[in-house]
Amino acid sequence: MWWQLASKSVLVDIKRDLEAYVGERIRLKANKGRKKVVEREGVLEGTYPNIFTVRISEADGVRRVSYSYADLLTEAVELVVCSAGGKETKFEAQSR
């Protein structure tokens, strides 16, 4: 049972770390399985207890996609934060 508490605290830490980037432009790469990888750019719109949302502008309108913090922890989703000065920082989910 202790492992459930440990994993919960890790996910809370990831959420807290990600909250600092709300409103920032990001680039994400999501592994959708069967060798299908989706790459998108958008804005980190919000963080919620179990998920975070990204607003993506496409030719046919605006989409919102959501991912769980566990996706970051398991590296199913990779996130790069694009700063205004052109600097890019890869978001690293730390498993403590």
Supply the mean pLDDT for the chain: 86
Pick the residue with more confidence: 91 or 55? 55
Give the amino acid at 40. Answer: R
- In angstroms, the Cα distances linking 88 to 11, 17, 28, 79, 82 are 23, 16, 12, 10, 5
- Whole-number Å distance between alpha carbons of 65 and 94: 23
pLDDT surpasses 60 at 6: no
Above pLDDT 70, what percent of the chain?
Answer: 90
- Whole-number Å distance between alpha carbons of 64 and 91: 20
Going by pLDDT thresholds of 50, 70 and 90, the confidence category of residue 22 is very high
Query: Model pTM?
Result: 0.81
- Whole-number Å distance between alpha carbons of 82 and 13: 21
**Residue owning tokens 């919620």:** 48
Instruction: Go through the domains of the chain in sequence order and give each one's CATH number.
Output: 2-91 (2.30.30.100)
